[in-house]
Chain A
Amino acid sequence: MAVDMRLPAVRKQVPSFSEAQEKHLVVPGDVITTDVGFMRGHGTYMDEEKLTASVAGEVERVNKLICVQPLKTRFNGEVGDVVVGRITEVQLKRWKVETNSRLDSVLLLSSVNLPGGELRRRSVEDELTMRDYLQEGDLISAEVQSVFSDGALSLHTRSLKYGKLGQGVLVQVSPSLVKRQKTHFHNLMCGASIILGNNGYIWLYPTPGQQDEEAGGYYTSLEPISLADREVISRLRNCILALAAHKVLLYDTSVLYCYESSKPHKIKNILKPEVMEEIVMETRQRLLEQVG
């Protein structure tokens, strides 16, 4: 295998634009306000009557509530978020799912669609065969049903679009880079599908054919994937990594634009710093044109 080696290079300075000055950026220990009329939100604490930041980030003000949104953090789930996660434990009547949040999420047996119809009582046999549906290490897509008081999430897969994930590639990025949108399931034009989990876990898989109603989302195809599909998925994976390295928000359009601008390069070359910079620059340009 040929290994690509390079000498250390000077880091490029990020050009500073004037618009950045409008943001109110704080670091831990910075006093945001000494006015007592404000409410303390996330990322702040009271230090002798002074509202002080506890994380480095941008100050957000909603009426009287002051929060500091850190640049990068673990996933803070909200009801309705789409997540991709990995089963870590099978317990009595529930699965534990690792979703990049600060505590493992819970998937109750009563909040999954079992094969054989929507309205089915969960019997003792179901509890005993839980491991047949999902076992440790399996990947699932799910939706946040509720948030417990300690911040742990309760998930559900009560829709055919959620459930166990079969063949595909998982890419992990920071949750703050995934843009919130109406839908997080996309069939991209380039011939692959993508699930952009709000928790920063992104699942790339070949666009499925006919869905089997009876399986209730637990059917996984083991048929070999064609080389062309695998190449598209690998290219998408590298594109997402390139966008994430340059802190571009991820959503269907940005991923697709990046995919298109990466076309002239070989898949393995996309992750080279200079190529990465070039295609991300092109993507940014196209996204700006689209907005303007």
Chain B
Amino acid sequence: MAGLELLSDQGYRLDGRKPSELRKVQARMGIFTRADGSAYIEQGNTKALAVVYGPHEVRGSRSKTLHDRAVINCQYSMATFSTAERKRRPHGDRKSSEMSLHLKQTFEAAILTQLYPRSQIDIYVKILQSDGGNYSACVNAATLAVIDAGIPIRDYVCACSAGFVEDTPLVDLCHAEETGSGTAVALALLPRGGQIALLQMDARLHQDHLDPVMEAAMTACRSLGQVLDGVVRQHLQEVSILTGE
């Protein structure tokens, strides 16, 4: 891309970060009272809201019911005001459906669904402001919401994106880097066991470069996991103090 230097000679990125540096993460759990679980996360300028309902009886078409585990229903949507150009449809377009499917696959790998036969778990995520890494913000927010809902989960699911510019892997891409760098890898990881819940790459990348990019993304996921861990423990402490008296 002409004129846009993604990595300066001194080794700094557009927003002044180092290649392996994450954006500032802020999160809160339990923001809605009527939902079973809810969470809000800010990763830099990307803001996402996740709500979980369930496990509950399968509503709508009965045929979806599974007799050995729970059905996970995900819906991804973007607020009309979340991007620079106003969106017409908040959800239901091809990109959102694909994202919903990815979220579903990610959480089927993490949630212990076999404990809830014939039930359904709904996960709704909304991007309020989009600045790259939508998938990772959604996964991180949904993880917190699932934990808030008290649904059994193997481990946190932490997601992060990574790119490759000038022989250097960049992590947690912002919007300019995502569109300008060519290739972007999205990785969802269960950090304790190191299992990969989802790995997605949109463009081509040389095989020799895949390993360093993956390595950088996994390290970033682990450090995100520590941030989420802090948020959950803080929330746990606060609530248990209030109820414990």
Residues of A within 8 A of B (CB): 14-17, 19-20, 23, 25, 27-29, 43, 45, 47, 54-58, 70-74, 88, 96, 98, 102-104, 150-151, 172, 176-177, 244-249, 284, 288
Question: Which residues from B are CB-within-8-Å of A45?
Answer: 112, 152, 154
Within B37-92, the residues touching A (CB, 8 Å) are 37, 54-57
Closest CB of chain A to B113's CB: distance in Å?
Answer: 12
CA distance A102 to B233 in the complex (A): 26
Q: List 18 A-B contacts (CB under 8 A).
A: A16-B241, A20-B240, A27-B147, A27-B156, A28-B156, A29-B155, A29-B192, A54-B154, A55-B152, A55-B153, A57-B236, A71-B150, A72-B148, A74-B36, A88-B57, A102-B55, A247-B242, A288-B245
CA distance A196 to B30 in the complex (A): 23
A20, A29, A73, A176: which contacts B149 (Cβ < 8 A)? A73
List 7 A-B pairs, minimum CB-CB distance, nearest first. Answer: A70-B150, A73-B150, A54-B152, A29-B155, A247-B242, A102-B55, A104-B57
Chain B interface residue count, CB cutoff 8 Å, equals: 42
With CB as the reference atom, state the residue of chain B lying closest to A104.
Answer: B57
The answer to whether B155 and A72 touch across the interface, beta carbons within 8 angstroms, is no
Given contacts A28-B154, A56-B147, contact A20 B237 (CB under 8 A): yes
Question: Which residues from B are CB-within-8-Å of A176?
Answer: 243
B57, B240, B242: which contacts A23 (Cβ < 8 A)? B240
Given contacts A20-B244, A54-B112, A73-B150, contact A102 B119 (CB under 8 A): yes
Q: Is the interface of A mostly helix, strand, loop or mixed?
A: loop
CA distance A125 to B237 in the complex (A): 56
Query: Is B94 interfacial (CB-CB < 8 Å)?
Result: no
With CB as the reference atom, state the residue of chain A lying closest to B56.
Answer: A102
The answer to whether A58 and B232 touch across the interface, beta carbons within 8 angstroms, is no
The answer to whether A54 and B54 touch across the interface, beta carbons within 8 angstroms, is no
Question: Which residues from A are CB-within-8-Å of B211?
Answer: none
Query: Is B238 interfacial (CB-CB < 8 Å)?
Result: yes
Query: Is B151 interfacial (CB-CB < 8 Å)?
Result: yes
The answer to whether A14 and B241 touch across the interface, beta carbons within 8 angstroms, is yes
The answer to whether A27 and B112 touch across the interface, beta carbons within 8 angstroms, is no
Produce 1/0 per residue, B17-42, CB < 8 A to A: 00000000000001001101100000
Within B137-174, the residues touching A (CB, 8 Å) are 147-156
Query: Is B118 interfacial (CB-CB < 8 Å)?
Result: yes
Query: Is B117 interfacial (CB-CB < 8 Å)?
Result: yes
Within B109-130, the residues touching A (CB, 8 Å) are 112, 116-119
CA distance A102 to B122 in the complex (A): 12
Question: Which residues from B are CB-within-8-Å of A14?
Answer: 237-238, 241-242
The answer to whether B112 and A25 touch across the interface, beta carbons within 8 angstroms, is no
With CB as the reference atom, state the residue of chain A lying closest to B230.
Answer: A27
CA distance A176 to B30 in the complex (A): 15
CA distance A87 to B110 in the complex (A): 33
With CB as the reference atom, state the residue of chain A lying closest to B53.
Answer: A74
